[in-house]
Amino acid sequence: MNTNPSIGVAILTFNGMKHLPKCLTAVLNSKGIDKVLVIDSSSTDGTVEYVRKTNIELLCIPQSEFNHGLTREKARKYLNTDIVVMLTQDAYLVDESSIENLIKPIVFKKCAVTYGRQIPHDGAKFYESFPRHYNYPIVKSILQVRTMANLNIYGAKLFFCSDSFSAYANDKLDEIGGFPETLTHEDYLVSFKLLRNGYAIGYVSNAIVKHSHDYSLVMELKRHFDAGFVRGKFKELEDTTGKTEKIGVSFAIEFIKATKKQKGIIYIPYSLSILIAKYIGFKLGYFGVTFLPIAFKKRLSSHRFYWESIYVKTK
């Protein structure tokens, strides 16, 4: 890759008018971008019409064809740039240098994939904010590089990545066959393959977006059902990293400590209920890969559309 690579940004949307104007404005004000593509999954809230009024390229697909992996694969091939930046509609770049900072480790061949720091949206409360601060800390060196040599240090978190704000070297994606068909966690799966092929992943803490969610207990259970399902389906992940319990325990301890400090002891039972919902959801997904009927998977999943998509119906 040359030192002046072409940069494309892919933004996945579905009924995104609540967020898209802020997201797009920040992207269009960014430095060094050659192409921006919005790939929309049949929005009905004016998202498509809004994008058409801009100079941004738009690709519309039926919702039945949306897939967290294959839709991103379609986007990166459509852009056909040296580096592709993945962004979700509800992630707002904090400044015009965020994308430039994110791609630097790829430009200078330190990493094949990078992801940026996520901070809570303005006004986010404790339960929205804590996961962002826990998963996306400030690191002294700005860039944290991880390779397979670090497996004993990071365990299952070695391959952690988030396509809410990430960047990939397109030629390296070609080597591993691109993004796979998957319910979710396409970023983790791709990072796993890239590191296994001898490349590195980079966490860039000065490449920042605002991105957070206020999830109910039911949504926490459903999101972790999806995570468990992917973990149970792709057994090579566990064969490489071992089980994820150690990460879960570490999160739980810090979560309870932060609850006591910032919210008070009275809120600890609710925090425990969140942890229990996450655990039950994960285990249901993990063990339900083979024995749960699709009707149950659809009800337990946070991505109901996936179970109604062409990728499931044709299996």
Pairing of strands 57-60, 35-40: parallel
Q: Which run of H or E residues covers position 85?
A: strand 83-88
Residue 194 is encoded by which pair of tokens? 């890239």
**Which residues of the chain are in CATH 3.90.550.10 domains?**
7-210
User: Which residues are registered as beta bridge partners of 87?
Assistant: 11, 165
| Cα–Cα distance measured from residue 127 to residue 263, given in angstroms and rounded to the nearest whole number | 10
Position 25, amino acid: T
User: Which residues are registered as beta bridge partners of 202?
Assistant: 114, 145
Angle at CA of residue 154, ends 214 and 270, nearest 5°: 30
Per-residue model confidence as pLDDT tens for the chain (315 residues)? 566 899 999 999 999 999 999 999 999 999 889 999 999 999 999 999 999 998 899 999 999 999 999 999 999 999 999 999 999 999 999 999 999 999 999 999 999 999 999 999 999 999 999 999 999 999 888 999 999 999 999 999 999 999 999 999 999 999 999 999 999 999 999 999 999 999 999 999 999 999 999 999 999 999 999 999 999 999 999 899 888 888 899 999 999 999 999 999 999 999 999 999 999 999 999 999 988 999 999 999 999 889 989 988 655
**pLDDT given for residue 220 in this prediction:** 97
Could you tell me the CA-to-CA distances from 248 to 77, 104, 243, 255, 276 in Å, in that order? 36, 32, 10, 10, 11
Span 7-210 CATH architecture: Alpha-Beta Complex (3.90)
CA–chain centroid gap for 122, Å, is: 20
Check: CB of residue 194 under 8 Å from CB of residue 201.
yes
End-to-end CA distance of the chain: 38
Check: CB of residue 239 under 8 Å from CB of residue 186.
no
